[in-house]
């Protein structure tokens, strides 16, 4: 049996590999500190939840396993609410030290947590499968057990700073943890019964003006929307280790848009003008009906029976031999009552044209500048009504 096949030999080989991974992680951490452009979320502290990332184990993909370990650690640092647990442990070393099975069973995973003093950690085993790297990553949480997320990506990704590997690591972290840890958000908004939105997404409703919601940690925009109230909004930082209180004061909504009286007057004018023109048409129909009953020059009818005088004024005299019936006399009387529509038709037509023209003018000029502002010269049609002693009219002008 060769030296490497003995337990001591396997331990020494794993220690050498772990020592290389530790040195690489140390250099990677130093590079991150030296790079002022690199930004992380929260540092380890009371307002973050630490996750330990144990160096991933492999039998044939050392460079890829080391790069993936670094990339996942970087992803933990960058995600709000999480912080990277201290230590640079390797799965192979821990398994040998604790005499665990490969992969470690539930009992061994608990012992690993005790050794590295962690409440949550990520571990995994990856190997080459053809041109790819495949494996399972595991997320252990004290009191909750382990969740698993499979990974497969190109074996040529051997640099932790490679953007493609960063995306793989971030997807792994989200798949394992669900994203940023959630904290409690307590919203108080008077007695308003409205909806609460976090970063534009609805999270629930308020009861008697308040509610508590589970929200991803980090800087969040909080909005309360309620019928009859203006939106109330603020920003806050949600922490995964407690409840943050937010107080908002929605104000009753007011329609500050001024009434356009020119537009209102324009519609009223056009409507009134149309009504007056309609009355003019009605008057013309009454006059035409009366003229038909009285007769025309070509067909005198009742008018031809009168020798002199005015029938409507009761000063008429019928021609000799004329014998109008009672029905003819009644029809003639109706025609007399329609005489008032003769002048009214012209009055209605004239007023209808003026009022409708004024309404059109007001409608076309609605929404313009205020009286104290200098009006701008605009192209198009303008309509100006005018009324004089001899009648009225509507002047149309086109400005080029």
CATH number where 225 lies: 2.60.40.1120
- For the record, the structure tokens of 114 come out as 């005790």
User: Residues 233, 242: contact at Cβ < 8 Å?
Assistant: no
The confidence score (pLDDT) of residue 331 equals: 72
The answer on 171 and 203 residing in a single domain is no
Does any domain span residue 254? no
- Residues in CB range of 381: below 8 A, 6 or more apart: 364, 396, 397, 398
Which tokens hold the place of 126?
């990856």
Q: Is residue 155 part of a domain?
A: yes
pTM: predicted TM-score of the whole model, two decimal places = 0.52
CATH of the domain at 25: 3.40.50.10070
Query: Do 393 and 265 share a domain, yes or no?
Result: yes
Domain boundary among 223, 247, 271: 247
* Domains identified in the chain, total number: 3
Does any domain span residue 255? no
Task: Note whether 8 and 111 are same-domain residues.
Answer: yes
Domain boundary among 197, 223, 247: 247
Q: And the tokens for 328?
A: 């003819």
pLDDT tens column, 254-303 = 765 677 788 888 889 899 989 988 888 887 887 777 766 666 555 556 66
User: Is the pLDDT score of 375 beyond 70?
Assistant: no
| Distance of alpha carbon 101 from alpha carbon 96, whole angstroms | 9
- Does 56 fall in a domain? yes
| Residue-range definition of the domain harbouring residue 387 | 261-399
Handedness of CA 83, 87, 89, 94 (dihedral sign): negative
Q: Are residues 33 and 163 in the same domain?
A: yes
How far apart, in whole angstroms, are the C-alpha atoms of residue 8 and residue 5?
8
| In a domain? residue 252 | no
Residue 66 is assigned to a structural domain of this protein: yes
Mean pLDDT of 116-139: 96
Q: Do 141 and 108 belong together in one domain?
A: yes
Query: What pLDDT, on the 0 to 100 scale, is given for residue 310?
Result: 63
Q: Which helix (H) or strand (E) holds 381?
A: strand 380-388
Q: How many CB atoms lie within 10 A of CB 375?
A: 10
Q: Are residues 358 and 213 part of one domain?
A: no
- Statement to judge: residues 9 and 149 lie in one domain: yes
Give the span between the Cα atoms of 47 and 83, in whole angstroms.
Answer: 9
pLDDT tens, 180-197? 999 999 999 998 889 999
Of residues 131 and 337, the one with the higher pLDDT is 131
> Residue 340 gets which letter from DSSP?
G
Looking at per-residue confidence, does 43 or 163 come out higher?
Answer: 163
Within-domain flag for 105? yes
- Which pLDDT score, from 0 to 100, does residue 224 have? 95
- Whether 151 and 288 share a structural domain: no
Domain edge (last residue) among 158, 177, 196:
177
Top pLDDT among 21 and 88 is at 88
Residue 3 pLDDT greater than 90, yes or no: no
Q: How does pLDDT run across 12-41, given as a tens digit for each residue?
A: 444 444 444 444 444 334 333 333 333 344
Percent of the chain with pLDDT over 70: 71
- Mark whether 15 and 41 lie in a shared domain: yes
Going through 258-373 in order, the beta strands assigned E by DSSP cover 306-308, 317-318
- Which of residues 184 and 308 earns the better pLDDT score? 184
CB atoms within 10 A of CB 66: 22
For CA atoms 31, 37, 38, 39, the dihedral sign is positive
95 and 166 assigned to the same domain: yes
* DSSP 8-state class, residue 339: G
pLDDT band for 48, please (50, 70, 90 cuts): confident
CB of 383 closer than 8 Å to CB of 361: yes
Residues 234 and 273 in one domain: no
Please check whether residue 256 lies inside any domain of the structure. no
Which DSSP helix (H) or strand (E) runs through 188?
strand 182-188
Please state, in angstroms and rounded to a whole number, the distance separating the CA atoms of residues 40 and 180.
13
Same domain? 359 vs 238:
no
């Amino acid at each position: 049996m060769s030296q490497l096949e003995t337990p001591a030999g396997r331990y020494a080989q794993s220690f050498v590999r772990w020592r290389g991974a530790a040195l690489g992680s140390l250099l990677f951490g130093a590079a991150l500190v030296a790079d002022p452009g690199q930004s992380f979320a929260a540092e380890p502290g009371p307002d973050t939840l630490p996750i330990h990332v144990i160096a991933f184990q492999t039998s044939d993909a050392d460079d890829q396993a080391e790069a993936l370990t670094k990339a996942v650690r970087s992803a933990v640092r960058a995600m709000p609410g999480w912080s990277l647990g201290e230590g640079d442990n390797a799965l192979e070393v821990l398994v040998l030290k604790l005499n665990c099975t490969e992969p470690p069973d539930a009992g061994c995973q608990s012992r690993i947590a005790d050794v590295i003093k962690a409440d949550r950690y990520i571990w995994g085993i990856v190997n080459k499968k053809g041109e790819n790297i495949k494996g399972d990553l595991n997320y252990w949480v004290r009191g909750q057990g382990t969740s698993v997320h499979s990974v497969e990506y190109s074996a040529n990704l051997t640099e932790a700073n490679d953007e493609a590997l960063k995306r793989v690591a971030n997807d792994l972290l989200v798949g394992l943890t669900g994203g940023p840890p959630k904290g409690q958000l307590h919203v108080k908004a008077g007695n308003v019964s409205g909806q609460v939105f976090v970063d534009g997404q609805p999270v629930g409703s308020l009861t008697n003006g308040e509610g508590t919601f589970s929200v991803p940690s980090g800087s969040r925009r909080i909005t309360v929307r309620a019928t009859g109230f203006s939106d109330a909004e603020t920003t806050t930082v949600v922490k995964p280790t407690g409840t943050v209180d937010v107080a908002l004061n929605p104000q009753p909504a007011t329609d500050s848009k001024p009434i356009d009286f020119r537009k209102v007057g324009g519609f009223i004018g056009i409507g009134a003008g149309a009504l007056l023109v309609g009355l003019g048409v009605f008057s013309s129909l009454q006059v035409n009906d009366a003229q038909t009953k009285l007769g025309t020059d070509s067909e005198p009818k009742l008018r031809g029976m009168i020798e002199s005088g005015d029938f409507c004024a009761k000063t008429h005299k019928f021609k000799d031999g004329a014998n109008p019936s009672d029905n003819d006399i009644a029809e003639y009387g109706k025609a007399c009552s329609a005489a008032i529509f003769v002048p009214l038709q012209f009055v209605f037509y004239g007023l209808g044209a003026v009022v409708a023209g004024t309404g059109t003018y007001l409608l076309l000029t609605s929404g313009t500048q205020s009286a104290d502002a200098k009006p701008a010269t605009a192209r198009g049609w303008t309509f100006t009504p005018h009324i004089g002693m001899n009648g009225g009219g509507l002047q149309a002008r086109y400005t080029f």
